Amino acid sequence: MAAKEKLIKIALVGQPNVGKSALINSVGNARLKVGNFSGVTVRKEVVRFNRDGYDFQITDLPGSYSLTDYTIEERVTRQYLDEEDYDLILNVVDSTNIERNLYLTTELLALNQKLVVALNMTDEAVKEGVHIDAQQLGKILGVPCIKTSAVKKTGIDEVIQAIIQSYKQKENPLHLQFSEVFEEEISHIVSFLEEKKIQCKVSLKALAIKLLREDRQTYLRFHEEPIWTELQPIVNKAYQHLYLHYDTKDLDDIYNDERSALAKGAVAETVQFEKQTKRSFTGQIDALLMNQFVGLPIFLFLMWGLFQLTFEVGSIPMDWIDAFFALLINGTKSFLGDTEFASAIADGAIAGVGAVILFLPNIIILFLGIALLETTGYMSRVAFLLDGFFHKFGLHGKSFIPLVSGFGCSVPAYMAARTLKNDRDRLLTLFIIGFMSCGARLPIYVLFVGAFFNESQAGNILFLIYISGALLGIIAAKVLKKTAFKGDDEPFVMEMPKYRLPSFKLIWHTVSAQAMMYLRKAGTFILLASVLIWFASNYPKQPEMEQQYQVKIEQLQNEEAIAALNNELALYKLENSYLGQIGHASEPFFAPLGYDWRMAIALETGLAAKEIVVATLGVLYGLGEDHDEQSAGLVEQIRANISLPSAISFIVFVMIYLPCLAASMVFMREAGGWKYLVYLFVFTTATAWTLSFAAFNMAQVLT
């Protein structure tokens, strides 16, 4: 029981880009558990660690500017703070933007919960001439205020000690003070609630503030109670007094004015700003990177460099991985013998999984590059830079973040679209995220680019594929904006974080999580799919045809002729297997695009997961070959069996058609129902088929 009493549950709250994740990572030996908040797809991180005889559990709540229902992140944060069980709030504040950050702090104070404020990025604030008297600020707010730097790991121990001391305190008197008029109306409501002996998890003052803000949940609580008939006139009288004093009936404006006055007053009392005689470091970099003439070329050059590295550096370990799996396949067959089980394990499971893991280095490099650009604060600049360009196509700069996230994985990209408040703009962005090629499509591109283009040109071709997909998405947005999603654009308001050196821990966490997710797919979902594909490609058996071919083979002496007959038999068995029957049934739909039935099957299995496309091609085109270090690899098989026009058409189709099953389910949830998923399937399939048909015929003419 004593151990349970020493568990301190902490709600970690802060505005976006204040360094909450970095602060968590600064706590040594922390155990991180990642999941989703109940009922929504908002990411939830819980950290556990022990310090000074206490067990700490920190729940990292989504970055929120305010405790409102304006965004799903704000709604989740507010609901957690109102309803969940926790002992204390740790509010992380950006010291370089302290006044704006204190707006949220004032709302947290109104909850009358135990609170500790971490004044993060103090080192950056000092460089910018911002000096905060943390002790005096703590006296004004009535809560501990500790200077910290997550990057330099300073102040972390002090924050933990402040948490322990606050946890030990029995009471937490509310220090939040408003203007005389606002405080007068609060006191009237509190006096009435005290007379009625109202019991509540939060303080009566916090409850009164919620009533004056027309908080919906608070009103629902009282509305069905008998007390409401007496309480309503008091609240109405308070409203009339506030309307008269502030000359407005917008209670949000009134409360925001109060918060702003509180924050400004606290800053005026406790913060000194040195006069800047020269442009800040951030300003100097922005002058170049956000220049209207050179900003976009710099961004394109950085993306081009990333894809060059993805192909050139990523190709180095591919031969080693390929050789390892070839030896593993050969060794498995030698160990298990010439049996169906051995073939299922070697040609099905190992070959399919190996074909996917082969491209893991490319995936890691791509995720690493995107993570570096995001954590330094550069991606937000690009969003501002592209705002004017996006507007011409019915989008705006804020769409850039979910779109560029789509280059990594469509699932978080779909969730990132929540930042768009206008439903039409959000749906429009959701519909074109799939045009941004996710990391799972990269192995397909690398496979085909490696088969048909020189290594010196491969990085350029890869860059062209990604840029072409993005441009097609923007054009599709223009078409959809003129047809299905007519309406006014949302004004562009977005956080502009300062440039920061990338945190190794944060980069490692992001890249390793994506890589492990990729490997988990390979070891579970794709493993099962590869075995199923092997089974479907090997059954039903053709004993009569096998016997006929065996008779022919026994009559031959020439090894080349025998090999030709063996391959002919293998092809016959493959075409008449369950997989072959499905492929031939769908072949008429894909034939105008230059695909054979095997390519058709690969695309269809890709609806489950794009990685399975490579695994399927590996199983189908690998049949009839001896797997050893001298055998032709998948690249050679692709080059030998598929023409260049068909390959180009295939890449275009992969670039556009429906995302994987997991991403499709998230899209459906974010868009609002099955009907939108049906619309997306029809839209992407029709677009993919049309453009692939055009690409195939154009390539035939040119080649």
Q: Which residue type sits at 365?
A: I
pLDDT at position 509:
75
Q: Hey, what long-range contacts does 217-223 have (CB within 8 A, 24 or more apart)?
A: 217/82
**For the structural domain made of 2-168, what CATH number should be given?**
3.40.50.300
Q: What is the mean pLDDT of residues 177-190?
A: 78
CB 23 within 8 A of CB 45: no
pLDDT at position 622:
59
CA distance 557 to 554: 8
pLDDT at position 31:
54
Q: 44-68 burial, b for 16+ CB within 10 Å, e for fewer?
A: bbbbebebeebebbbbbbbbbbbbe
Asked if pLDDT for residue 66 goes beyond 90, the answer is: no
- Phi and psi (nearest 5°) for 272? -115, 135
Confidence class for position 319, pLDDT limits 50, 70, 90:
confident
pLDDT at position 1:
39
β-partners of residue 36 are 43
DSSP state of 485: S
State the DSSP H helix or E strand holding residue 36, giving kind and residue range, or none if neither: strand 31-36
pLDDT at position 117:
94
pTM of the model: 0.57
Asked if pLDDT for residue 120 goes beyond 70, the answer is: yes
**Cβ atoms within 10 Å, residue 201:** 12
Percent of the chain having pLDDT more than 70? 87
DSSP state of 214: T
CA distance 383 to 418: 16
Asked if pLDDT for residue 465 goes beyond 60, the answer is: yes
Q: Which of 207, 231, 204 is nearest to 217 (CA)?
A: 207
Asked if pLDDT for residue 526 goes beyond 80, the answer is: no
Higher pLDDT, 131 or 206: 131
Sequence-separated (6 or more) residues with CB below 8 Å from residue 627: 326, 329, 330, 333, 346, 347, 351
pLDDT at position 493:
47
DSSP state of 347: I
Q: Which residue type sits at 15?
A: Q
CA distance 383 to 113: 37
pLDDT at position 161:
92
Looking at domain 180-273, its CATH class is mainly alpha
Sign of CA dihedral 194, 199, 200, 201: positive
CA distance 166 to 172: 8
Q: 663-696 burial, b for 16+ CB within 10 Å, e for fewer?
A: bbebbbebbeeeebbeebeebbeebbbebbbebb
Asked if pLDDT for residue 289 goes beyond 60, the answer is: yes
Asked if pLDDT for residue 656 goes beyond 50, the answer is: yes
Answer whether the bond into residue 62 is a cis peptide, omega within 30°. Answer: no
Asked if pLDDT for residue 597 goes beyond 80, the answer is: yes
Confidence class for position 118, pLDDT limits 50, 70, 90:
very high
Q: Pull the structure tokens for residue 186.
A: 């609060």
Tens digits of per-residue pLDDT, 132-148? 999 888 888 889 999 99
Half-sphere exposure of 131 (CA within 13 A, CB side): 5
Confidence class for position 495, pLDDT limits 50, 70, 90:
low
CA distance 527 to 701: 40
pLDDT at position 112:
77
Sign of CA dihedral 571, 576, 579, 583: positive
Provide the mean pLDDT of the chain: 80
Angle at CA of residue 237, ends 235 and 243, nearest 5°: 100
Q: What is the mean pLDDT of residues 247-262?
A: 78
Half-sphere exposure of 321 (CA within 13 A, CB side): 18
Q: What is the mean pLDDT of residues 221-238?
A: 84
Asked if pLDDT for residue 646 goes beyond 90, the answer is: yes
Confidence class for position 43, pLDDT limits 50, 70, 90:
low
Tens digits of per-residue pLDDT, 89-109? 999 999 988 888 998 998 888
CA distance 565 to 550: 9
Give the per-residue SS3 of 49-91: EEECCEEEEEEECCCCCCCCCCCHHHHHHHHHHHHCCCCEEEE
For the chain, what are the domain ranges? Answer: 2-168, 180-273, 296-540+577-702
Q: Which of 357, 443, 351 is nearest to 654 (CA)?
A: 443
Sequence-separated (6 or more) residues with CB below 8 Å from residue 313: 361, 365
Q: What is the mean pLDDT of residues 177-182?
A: 73
Tens digits of per-residue pLDDT, 376-407? 878 777 777 777 777 778 776 667 777 877 78
pLDDT at position 95:
92
pLDDT at position 28:
57
Asked if pLDDT for residue 115 goes beyond 80, the answer is: yes
Asked if pLDDT for residue 74 goes beyond 90, the answer is: no
CA distance 198 to 225: 12
State the DSSP H helix or E strand holding residue 138, giving kind and residue range, or none if neither: helix 134-141
CA distance 142 to 112: 11
Asked if pLDDT for residue 631 goes beyond 50, the answer is: no
CB 447 within 8 A of CB 614: yes
